[in-house]
Structure 1
Amino acid sequence: MNKLGFSYNMNTCAACGSCQVACKESHGLKPEEFFRRVSLLMEGPYSGSCNHCEDPACVNACPTGAMYRSADGTIQHDDGRCIGCGSCMWNCPYGAISFSKTKGVTQKCDSCVQRRTLGLEPLCVAACPTGSLKFGPVENVSADMSFLPDPSVTHPVLNITPSSRYLRINSNDGGITEEADNE
């Protein structure tokens, strides 16, 4: 099976928050809970969620195996195995995992696995009016997608390789500044 993942085009995102709202409503999240957040960075908007990393720090830190890589390459969470210790949350450099006080466990984006089993795309992707968010086989990610903002803007603490192919576009002249295959 092909590895699946999200791709995001910062150049076309309108920062409207439709992806964030659709995700919150679909998962019944409380006002303070997020699986996807739209942030405004110096270089433009960024819609961030779980990056379904190639070498996921959250999976490596989970003592019970509640956080795991599924057969399709996405990182999933099993509430039944989670003891709520927060190790996965503390080790995620993207802040993509939160703690549910109601459930007593951590939670994160599951790439709408229930919708995908019905042949539908994740709700955040379906709700994006500009088509800036995509989801599918990593090797089919379009060349005009930039997956993450430039590291000089976000200053990540750890070097985690997301499971994606991305292309950064220079916002000044539209030229390609970096191309990488993160596998």
Structure 2
Amino acid sequence: MGIIMKRLFIDLEVCKKCEKCVIECSYYNHYPENNGITALRERVRYALICKQCEEAPCVEVCPQDALEKQEDGSLKRYNMLCVGCNSCVIACPFGTIYPELIPYLDSVCDYCKKRFKDAYLCIETCPYDAIEYKEVKEDKEKNIILINKNLGVHLKKWKL
């Protein structure tokens, strides 16, 4: 049974209604096209695809040390080091690593920590209410996955 705590929650099934994300972000260190919510969506998309290997052969094979495994198991790409050689793609034992899906943006969502308690510009500006701040626990039967301690997502199950 998962821990129930308040966290940002994105319903990716609702999110699909938008052709282009129009959510605003209060992250103070971003460019208009490189905001926190875009980085969040990248992170979610990648976390759901990467198998987060214990050994991480994609990290080991990178000739430029452009990939680093984070404490939470996710990968971080150092943009200025990546030369696009695709060694990581070849090394992935699951065939799930695609360079265009590794989180690339420099800005990252800080979940408005220490800046706001319950006011989130992303929640207020989402036209389809795809983002909420609420108590969430992982529930695979309901297709709710926890990406990290601050973020949960709902997504449709893949059909094989």
Question: TM exceeds 0.5?
Answer: no
TM-score normalised by length of structure 2? 0.43
TM-score normalised by length of structure 1? 0.39
Bigger strand fraction: 1
Kindly indicate whether structure 1 or structure 2 has the higher relative contact order, using CA contacts under 8 Å at least 6 residues apart. Answer: 2
